[in-house]
């Protein structure tokens, strides 16, 4: 009995040590990737976006290509059905099909999931971390970090892929508690691109005929 108890204690201590090592390694990897992104004054990212939910009938599957340009907290997101611009604490949702611009105040507490700020900060608050293995994708070794939210009713877990050599973000995948799976896969990263003057500014004259709901 004493031998069995001793073995259980040893196994528990190894398990705890391994979990702590995995946490530290995962946190360090996320911080390296985040610092890499933040080292650019401006960065432009071309990506593929996929959304799926197999729990509904009929199942939903959507795929889109997009581009996002970030400069500090400001960003401009462009996708086929919508554009989004953040300037300071203002958020502009631009809907070309409806010829409408929705203007709201950015709320950090509502910033959950695969949002632009997560590309820069990589879920640095409110999550626990562990390593999630690695694989080779198109000749690049990608290491994965699994994140679990400390308190969220909508997010089950998130997996972030980071290229081992470049420390660039490769992919972000989120599982929702309602069965949704959202994936963002980076196709190209362009550091400090040349941008037109006023790129991170909202100008009403750029949207003639639009209803601007502010």
Lowest-confidence segment of 6-10, 51-55, 169-173 by average pLDDT = 6-10
Task: Identify whether the C-beta of residue 67 lies closer than 8 Å to the C-beta of residue 45.
Answer: yes
DSSP 3-state assignment of 21? helix
DSSP 3-state assignment of 191? strand
**What kind and span of H or E run contains 132?**
strand 127-137
Placement of tokens 């890499």 in the chain: 36
- In terms of pLDDT, which residue wins out, 59 or 114? 59
Chain segment 43-57, per-residue pLDDT in tens: 999 999 999 998 888
Alpha-carbon distance values, 132 to 32, 88, 124, 192 (Å): 17, 35, 17, 31
Q: How confident is the model at residue 19 (pLDDT cuts 50, 70, 90)?
A: low
CATH code for the domain defined by 2-213:
2.50.20.10
Closest CA to 133 of 156, 164, 157, 155: 164
CA pair distance 182, 51, nearest whole angstrom: 5
DSSP 172-187: EEEEETTSEEEEEEEE
CA pair distance 123, 115, nearest whole angstrom: 10
Closest CA to 40 of 205, 193, 178, 180: 193
End-to-end CA distance of the chain: 72
Q: What is the pLDDT of residue 114?
A: 63
């Amino acid at each position: 009995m004493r031998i069995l108890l001793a073995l259980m204690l040893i196994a528990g201590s190894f398990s705890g040590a391994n979990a702590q090592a995995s946490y530290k390694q995962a946190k360090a990897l996320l911080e390296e990737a985040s610092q890499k992104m933040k080292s650019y004054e401006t960065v432009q990212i071309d990506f593929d976006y996929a959304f799926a939910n197999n729990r509904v009938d009929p199942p939903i599957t959507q795929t889109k290509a997009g581009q996002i340009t970030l400069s500090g907290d400001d960003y401009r997101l462009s996708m086929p059905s919508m554009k989004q611009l953040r300037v300071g604490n203002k958020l502009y949702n631009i809907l070309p099909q409806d010829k409408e611009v929705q203007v709201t105040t950015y709320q950090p507490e509502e910033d959950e999931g695969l949002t632009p700020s997560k590309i820069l900060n990589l879920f640095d608050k409110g999550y626990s971390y562990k390593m999630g293995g690695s694989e080779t994708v198109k000749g690049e070794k990608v290491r994965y970090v699994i994140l679990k939210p400390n308190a969220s009713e909508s997010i089950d877990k998130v997996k972030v892929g980071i290229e081992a050599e470049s420390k660039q973000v490769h992919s972000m995948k989120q599982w929702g508690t309602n069965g949704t799976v959202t994936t963002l896969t980076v196709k190209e990263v362009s550091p400090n691109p040349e941008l037109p003057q006023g790129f991170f500014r909202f100008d009403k004259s750029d949207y003639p005929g639009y209803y601007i709901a502010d």
